Structure 1
Amino acid sequence: MRSEVLFLGGRAGVGKTSVGTEIHVQLSARHVRHGLIEGDNLDLAYPPPWEHGLAERNLAAMWANYRVLGYRRLIYTNTVSVRFVDALTAAMGDDPRVTAVLLTADDRTARQRLARREIGTALQRHIERSDLAARELAELSPPWVHRIRTDDRPVADLAAEIIELTGWTGAGPDQA
Structure 2
Amino acid sequence: IDTINTLLMTLPGIAVTYYGEEIGMVDYKNVSGVEAVGSDVFIDFSRDPERTPFQWDDEKNAGFSSGESTWLPVNPNYVELNLEKQKQAERSHYKTYQELVKLRKQETFRKGSIQMIPYNEQVVTFIRELPGHPTFVTVLNLGPREQQLDLSIFTRLSPELSVAVA
> TM > 0.5 between the two?
no
Of Structure 1 and Structure 2, which has the larger fraction of its residues in helix? 1
TM-score range, shorter chain: under 0.3
TM-score by length of 2: 0.26
TM-score by length of 1: 0.25
